Amino acid sequence: MRSKSFVTIISTIAAFITFFGLSLQAEAVSKDSGKEPIVIVYVCDLSNPAGQVPFAWMKVAAEQINESGGVLGQKIKVVAEDCKGQPNLAVEAYTRALINHKATVVGIYPRSEIVLACEAKAGEMYPDYPHILLAIGAASDEITYRIVDQYDKWKFVFRDQITVSARVPLYRDQVDIFKAVGVKKFALLREDLTWTQGIFKEFPATKYHKKILSVPDYAKSIGMEVVYQEAVKYKAGMYSPLFEAISAAGAEGIIFAASDGNDLDVFVRQWVDSSAREMHMLVTGATGARFWERTGGKSIGLITDSSVYPLLSGKDTPEMPDVRETAKTHNLAIVSAVLYSAYPDMFFLKKAIIRAGGVKDIDALIKAMEETEMMGPQGPLKYERTRIPPFFHGAVFADINDPSKHAKDGYTAVYGQIQKDGKMVLLQKPFPGVDGSLSYYRSPAELRKMK
Amino acid sequence: MVKIDFKRDRINIRWRGGKWDWMIEPRYWRNTFYWTIVLLLLPLFFVYFSPGMAVTMVSANVYAALGIPLAFMGLGTGRVNFGPNFYVGVGGYAAALLSLHLGFGQLATLPLAIIITAIAAFIFSPLVIMAKGLYYTLLTLLLPLVFLEVTFIYTDIFKGDVGLFGISPLVDFGSTTANFLGAAYISSVILLIFLLFTNKIMKSRYGLIMATVNDDEEVAQGIGVNINRVKILSFIVAATMIGIIGWFLAHYYGTFSGITYLPLTFMLKILLVLMIGGRAQIFGCVAGGYFVAFLEMILIRTMGDFQPVAFPIILLILLFVLPRGEGLFGLYRRRHYREYFPQTHVRR
């Protein structure tokens, strides 16, 4: 009996040690190192393209940087920490990034609630583990809202995307394009997520800028009318009744503010089979390398944002390799600007680290991040320096003195139309030397006949 | 006058009409005591060797502390609630909104989160009388999903998919290590209180009545048990305990979003904790919570891209291999059948 309990105790202890030993070993995976590399950890969902694609681009960028001699003699090491899309696991991953990997930069994939959960933990840990938090692709204002008021606490937070409040110029562009093609009445739809809320609402005046009209009010001010508006459930699946209602409302066109994660192929297929098929259609996020194939060519005539296509490359982006060429040689997907923005981010970080003279002094690196500028595939890449919430420390896009207008030297997004064989034709001219004109526009009905 | 009787295995304390037993026989508390010591030493061990694991420990405690009231609710109502995460949402949002709009600290939001969750549970408690079987399952399953929709519709209040942020922190000692320790100990203390509370109830006369209701409602009614009262009370108490975890999560992460806790994925993890630990074992929830949380962490760190496939496969295999209804804790229980452990009665 005694020997039986002895065996039980020993086996319990053994199981306990094995289990926690494995955990400790798993924790310590990255502790071995020769000459310390600069560690960049990417907290993401590796089972989701929104996590996989940026990580693949980051790894290739690190390879390219290391092949060219690294950064001030130090290699760059990129590590992914899988969070399975869950905030609790993301916070664990963030903690490991700082404690185990000793990360200088922690990137977080484009889900705002995950970024916010990690940001709260990062704020707690920053005094003991100084680092940079880079939100890659997340758009919420909340991410950078508090940096102005509590600069010393949150100064390490940067966001490489256009914040929600900075999207007004994009919304205005959409309405202007519709006006230019002769639409007077249109339906305004938005996917029911926080980032699209600004399209229905006016931005109240702040001490930094005057009141900004909502899209319906802006349309009214230029002689147009929103005859139907609705927040559409994310991945709703069934859009036919919506198209019939829009058609009955007398709309001549539809604007749908949506993201590339939505079921936009389903939306487009049902549009073509509805009584709204002759309407002009503008859908943001209707991108992706295979969107044309996914819709079986039914996306012909659709106006969408050009974010899937790098506007600049080669000699126009001298501080980084050619994006299109890199995509081809490394078999990488240019799914959307949001997803491959991690690539220019890496070269931006390299430039900022060189400017700061290394990564030892994080305050110097933060200052260098604020001051560095670089030409990326979507135009100038730099972070807002003026202390205006929520633009401060976000990628420059809107003019901070009048956020309804584009900044003169910031991230650029233009609209294009999907035409014959899925070819995108730009309807706006983004840069000198890049072709784009509204005169290329054809109505969906016209393009279908040509097809 | 207090009257104390010393028995072989217990001390009986009588005062007026009441009677309390205090177990002194070691087999009733020895192993529980040892494991409590281990649980209280773990944060120190983790913080010394690998502070990141203290965070995993907090997740494990949360899973376990959600499994315990769910098992308790199952016992008292005779039904399996498929939407316990609804009350995580209620408790979490109550704490978050009170903290953000009224500037309440974590201690001030706790009683209010408890009261609000209890009221919500009371409102929905007639479900345990009105519905059973598949209908009850479906109704409870729908509740968190409807709440999730509400958080999207009333974005101004709940901030939709982004969630509420800037909630006052659970602990702020000004040092990362101290904060890790603080959070780990608070979660452990909540877990231990839940265990103690559930254990006491189940060993009491009321626990026996709950078990009777679980075994056969009609027979229970036939012998004079007010089954509706038992079911409603069990439902409200367990839901309120779950709401406390919502409070903890809101303050611990400093953010709270319905899209994290209200979808099926979160609920499934809690049910897995219950099943792997042992659905008929209260202490099994602790084994289940730690097993699921640490297994997930190990797989994430070692299996890379294959992890999302490996994790459910391992759990599915365990569901089939482990003794039915007894789970991981059942393996231990079988070898220690003479020791006392609270056990829920599971209706087949």
Instruction: For residue A385, give the DSSP letter.
Output: -
Using CA atoms in the order B337, B340, B346, B348, what is the torsion angle rounded to 10 degrees? 20
Contact with chain B for residue A213, Cβ under 8 A: no
Which structural domain, as residue segments, surrounds residue A103? 38-138+312-377
Phi-psi region of A246 (alpha: psi -120 to 50; beta: other; left: phi over 0): alpha
Q: Look at residue A7 in the predicted model and tell me its pLDDT.
A: 59
CB contact under 8 A, A124 and B172: yes
Beta-sheet strands, E only, within A126-224: 132-135, 157-159, 185-191
Q: Does residue A427 form part of some domain?
A: yes
- Other C-beta atoms closer than 10 Å to the C-beta of A421 total 9
A282 and A351 fall within a common domain: no
Q: Look at residue A30 in the predicted model and tell me its pLDDT.
A: 44
For residue range A242-260, list pLDDT tens digits in order: 999 999 999 999 999 998 7
Q: Does residue A337 form part of some domain?
A: yes
Residues 247-276, chain A, touching B (beta carbon < 8 A) = none
B-chain residue closest to A129, CA distance: B176
A297 and A316 fall within a common domain: no
CB contact under 8 A, B56 and A92: yes
Q: State the sign of the Cα–Cα–Cα–Cα dihedral B97, B99, B102, B108.
A: positive
Q: Look at residue A289 in the predicted model and tell me its pLDDT.
A: 61
Question: What is the rounded CA–CA span in Å between residue A42 and residue A321?
Answer: 21
A216 and A134 fall within a common domain: no
Q: What is the ipTM of this complex?
A: 0.81
Q: Which residue, chain included where needed, has tokens 């789970």?
A: B327
Domain ranges of chain B: 50-335
Q: Which residue, chain included where needed, has tokens 């005057």?
A: A210
Query: B9: which 2 tokens?
Result: 């295995």
**Mean pLDDT, residues A18-33:** 53
Residue A31 pLDDT greater than 60, yes or no = no
How far is A138 from chain B, CA to nearest CA, in Å? Answer: 10
A303 and A424 fall within a common domain: yes
A217 and A250 fall within a common domain: yes
Partners of B264 on chain A (C-beta within 8 Å) are: none
A52 and A80 fall within a common domain: yes
B240: enclosing H helix or E strand = helix B227-253
A-chain residue closest to B179, CA distance: A124
B-chain residue closest to A22, CA distance: B298
Query: How long, in residues, is chain B?
Result: 348
Q: Using 50, 70 and 90 to split pLDDT, how confident is the model at B348? A: very low
Question: What is the rounded CA–CA span in Å between residue A111 and residue A45?
Answer: 10
Q: Look at residue B345 in the predicted model and tell me its pLDDT.
A: 53
Residue A358 pLDDT greater than 90, yes or no = yes
Residue A288 phi, psi dihedral angles, 5° rounding: 95, 145
Partners of A84 on chain B (C-beta within 8 Å) are: 296, 300, 308
Partners of A103 on chain B (C-beta within 8 Å) are: none
Which of B198, B220, B199, B218 has its CA nearest to residue B209?
Answer: B220
Residue A180 pLDDT greater than 60, yes or no = yes
A202 and A290 fall within a common domain: yes
Among A420-424, A444-448, B85-89, whose mean pLDDT is lowest?
A420-424
Question: What is the rounded CA–CA span in Å between residue B207 and residue A107?
Answer: 50
Question: What is the rounded CA–CA span in Å between residue A314 and residue B77?
Answer: 68
- CATH classification at residue A189: 3.40.50.2300
Residue A208 pLDDT greater than 90, yes or no = no
Partners of A192 on chain B (C-beta within 8 Å) are: 152, 160
Domain boundary among A377, A396, A431: A377
Contact with chain B for residue A146, Cβ under 8 A: yes
Q: Does residue A293 form part of some domain?
A: yes
B36: enclosing H helix or E strand = helix B30-49
For residue range A282-329, list pLDDT tens digits in order: 998 877 667 888 899 999 999 988 666 788 888 889 999 998 899 889
Q: Is A332 or B323 the better-scoring residue by pLDDT? A: A332
CB contact under 8 A, B161 and A113: yes
Select the residue of B179, B253, B298 nearest A26 (Cβ to Cβ). Answer: B298
Q: State the sign of the Cα–Cα–Cα–Cα dihedral B278, B284, B289, B292.
A: negative
Residue A254 phi, psi dihedral angles, 5° rounding: -130, 130
A301 and A316 fall within a common domain: no
Residue B182 pLDDT greater than 50, yes or no = yes
Contact with chain B for residue A89, Cβ under 8 A: yes
Residue A125 phi, psi dihedral angles, 5° rounding: -90, -15
- What is the tally of structural domains in chain A? 2
CB contact under 8 A, A113 and B301: no
Partners of A232 on chain B (C-beta within 8 Å) are: none
Partners of B62 on chain A (C-beta within 8 Å) are: 88
Residue A443 pLDDT greater than 90, yes or no = yes
- Cβ neighbours of residue B264 under 8 Å, at least 6 residues apart? B141, B145
B148 close to B154: Cβ distance less than 8 angstroms: no
Q: Look at residue A27 in the predicted model and tell me its pLDDT.
A: 53
CB contact under 8 A, B176 and A86: no
B121 close to B111: Cβ distance less than 8 angstroms: no
Partners of B182 on chain A (C-beta within 8 Å) are: none
B293 close to B59: Cβ distance less than 8 angstroms: yes
Question: What is the rounded CA–CA span in Å between residue B21 and residue B10?
Answer: 6
A-chain residue closest to B172, CA distance: A124
Residues 5-44, chain A, touching B (beta carbon < 8 A) = 8, 19-20, 22-24, 26-29
For residue range B5-63, list pLDDT tens digits in order: 888 778 888 988 888 877 777 777 787 888 899 999 999 998 888 777 888 999 999 99
Identity at B41, one-letter amino acid code: L
Question: What is the rounded CA–CA span in Å between residue B251 and residue B171?
Answer: 8
Q: Is A430 or A276 the better-scoring residue by pLDDT? A: A276
For an interface test with A, the pick among B55, B148, B162, B269 (most A C-beta atoms closer than 10 Å) comes out as B162
CB contact under 8 A, A27 and B52: yes
- Cβ neighbours of residue B188 under 8 Å, at least 6 residues apart? B39, B40, B42, B43, B57, B61
Q: Which residue, chain included where needed, has tokens 């295995």?
A: B9
Q: Using 50, 70 and 90 to split pLDDT, how confident is the model at A404? A: confident
- Cβ neighbours of residue A359 under 8 Å, at least 6 residues apart? A38, A74, A104, A353, A365
Among A42-46, A56-60, B102-106, B212-216, whose mean pLDDT is lowest?
B212-216
CB contact under 8 A, B50 and A99: yes
Among A441-450, B193-202, B306-315, whose mean pLDDT is lowest?
B306-315
Partners of A56 on chain B (C-beta within 8 Å) are: none
Q: Does residue A228 form part of some domain?
A: yes
Instruction: Tell me the pLDDT of chain A averaged across its residues.
Output: 87
B131 CB-contact burial (10 Å; exposed 0-12 / middle 13-18 / buried 19+)? middle
**Mean pLDDT, residues B93-118:** 96
For an interface test with B, the pick among A82, A118, A154, A192 (most B C-beta atoms closer than 10 Å) comes out as A82
CATH number of B50-335: 1.10.3470
A191 and A298 fall within a common domain: yes
Query: B329: which 2 tokens?
Result: 């804790």
The fraction of chain B above a pLDDT of 90, given in percent, is 43
A275 and A227 fall within a common domain: yes
CB contact under 8 A, A194 and B155: yes
Instruction: For residue B6, give the DSSP letter.
Output: E
CB contact under 8 A, A120 and B305: no
Instruction: Tell me the pLDDT of chain B averaged across its residues.
Output: 87
- Concatenating the DSSP letter of every residue in B270-334 gives HHHHHHHH-TTBTTHHHHHHHHHHHHHHHHHHHHGGGHHHHHHHHHHHHHHHSPTTTHHHHHHHH
